[in-house]
Amino acid sequence: MELSTVPDALAGAFRDAFAEEPSGVWSAPGRVNLIGEHTDYNHGLCLPVAIPRRTYVAARRRDDRLVRILSRQVPGERTIPLDGLLQGSRGGWAAYAVGVLWALEQAGHRVGGLDVAVDGRVPLGSGLSSSAALECAVAVAAVDLFALEGFDGDEGRRALAQVCVRAENDVAGAPTGGMDQSASLLARRDTALLLDFDGDVAPRHVPFDLAAHGLSLLVMNTRAVHSLDDGQYGNRREECAAAVAELGVGSLRDMALADLDGSLRRLSSDLLRRRVRHVLTEIDRVTRTVAALEADDFAALPSLFEASHRSMRDDFEISCAELDTAVETARTAGALAARMTGGGFGGSAIAIVPASGVDDISSAVESAFSAKGFREPELFPVSAGGPAMREPWTGGR
């Protein structure tokens, strides 16, 4: 389906379900992270890019405190009362949406019930932040529909990202950091977003216009199962917290890379040493990647991406056979740089490839997957897209 027709079709689905016209259509993007993985909850740096795959919501205020919600991707409509949300409604895709309204109220804003129809164009479970896209689309819709104040500009969007993180952590039960929501709300076209989670640091927009360099960013969704609320992501977070406690520091960001070996010696297990080594070296790789992009030095990227992937595979242990195959095959077939992206344990990898090589590299990855008996991957090139917004949809058929 042509993306420009999505808002109209979604408004039609809204009308069919709720017998009323939606007040508007909003959308928010998924993301890939160029580099800086599992660093956000360690007060570190990361460098995401919003992708043109977005989640759309058509919505309308209700006079009561019910949320009626349906998705074009999931059969059935659900009705969820806003009150008592935390008692028992945890789990399920709708929690990501309704949780945002709960978190807005927790932050002192006055909201009410909504009718919502969702069309999620970010592949689910792909590690491309379909959950954050849903949260952020609902969040910008709620800001408009309830005329909420304090969410304008980059400052306001950062506050809104915090609300969405709270929804994901406390209602949906996924203990994630803030990268995905920040990317979805703050990204800008043709740039990557440098996020610094150490205190109140404003994000920086880093040039990332690959097309101008004859390059493309290829997303390789392995379709290997990826979930952020199944305990594996949380384990890594707990291991980092255990290392912080052993080292007696405020966060891993407080550790100096120059003194890495000394710090590692103070840890009680090889496992914690590997986790800490990943986080510290990964934060350094983000700094180096930003320097390279700002100097237009793409030649620096292959070794940074390779070191990052190796660190995630061997030290942080969040890769899998499918991700390793995608990365290795893309590189052998001519990608400039490749690495897994996002939380890991399945999901997606990315490759920076010559624009003229997208088809050949994609075929090579597909053949490698088929030869190994993996599920057929989903491959598509993306450019750096814009943030969550109200769609220019004015209603009517």
Active site residues: 180
- Tallying the residues shown for the chain, one arrives at 397
Q: Rounded CA gap, 331 and 310, in Å?
A: 13
Closer CB to ligand GLA, residue 358 or residue 384? 384
Choose which of 135, 180, 239, 315 interacts with ligand GLA (CB under 6 A). 180
Q: Are 393 and 11 in contact (CB under 8 A)?
A: yes
Query: Look-up: residue for tokens 């304008």?
Result: 152
Q: How far is the CB of 333 from ligand GLA (least distance, A)?
A: 26
Choose which of 179, 185, 267, 336 interacts with ligand GLA (CB under 6 A). 179
Closer CB to ligand GLA, residue 7 or residue 177? 177
Closer CB to ligand GLA, residue 46 or residue 148? 46
Q: How far is the CB of 162 from ligand GLA (least distance, A)?
A: 13
Q: How far is the CB of 199 from ligand GLA (least distance, A)?
A: 17
* Region from 171-179, 193-201, 249-257, 358-366 binding ligand GLA, contact rule CB under 6 A: 171-179
Q: Rounded CA gap, 352 and 362, in Å?
A: 12
Query: Look-up: residue for tokens 């508007």?
Result: 24
Among residues 37, 32, 28, the alpha carbon closest in space to that of 49 is found at 32
Cα 2 to the center of its chain, rounded Å: 23
Binders of ligand GLA among 218-247, rule CB under 6 A?
A: 228
Q: How far is the CB of 37 from ligand GLA (least distance, A)?
A: 4
Q: Are 174 and 229 in contact (CB under 8 A)?
A: yes
Closer CB to ligand GLA, residue 208 or residue 345? 345
* Region from 175-183, 272-280, 283-291, 332-340 binding ligand GLA, contact rule CB under 6 A: 175-183
Q: Rounded CA gap, 263 and 270, in Å?
A: 12
Closer CB to ligand GLA, residue 7 or residue 44? 44
Give me the residues paired with residue 120 across strands: 55
Closer CB to ligand GLA, residue 179 or residue 330? 179
Q: How far is the CB of 41 from ligand GLA (least distance, A)?
A: 6
Residue 125: CB atoms within 10 Å: 16
Binders of ligand GLA among 10-49, rule CB under 6 A?
A: 33, 37-38, 40-41
Closer CB to ligand GLA, residue 342 or residue 357? 342
Give me the residues paired with residue 339 across strands: 350
Q: Which two structure tokens, joined as six digits, stand for 100?
A: 């945002």
- Is residue 176 a contact residue for ligand GLA (CB under 6 A)? yes
Crossing angle between the packed helical segments 321-332 and 358-372, to the nearest 10 degrees: 140
Buried b (16+ CB within 10 A) or exposed e, 307-346: bbbbbbbebbbbbbebbbbbbbbbbebebbbbbbbbbbbb
Q: How far is the CB of 144 from ligand GLA (least distance, A)?
A: 25
Q: Rounded CA gap, 342 and 24, in Å?
A: 31
How big is the site for ligand GLA, counted in residues (CB under 6 A)?
A: 12
Q: Rounded CA gap, 47 and 49, in Å?
A: 7
Residues 325-364, one symbol each (x = binds ligand GLA by CB under 6 A, - = not), give -----------------xx---------------------
Give me the residues paired with residue 97 across strands: none
Per CB under 6 A, residues contacting ligand GLA are: 33, 37-38, 40-41, 176-177, 179-180, 228, 342-343
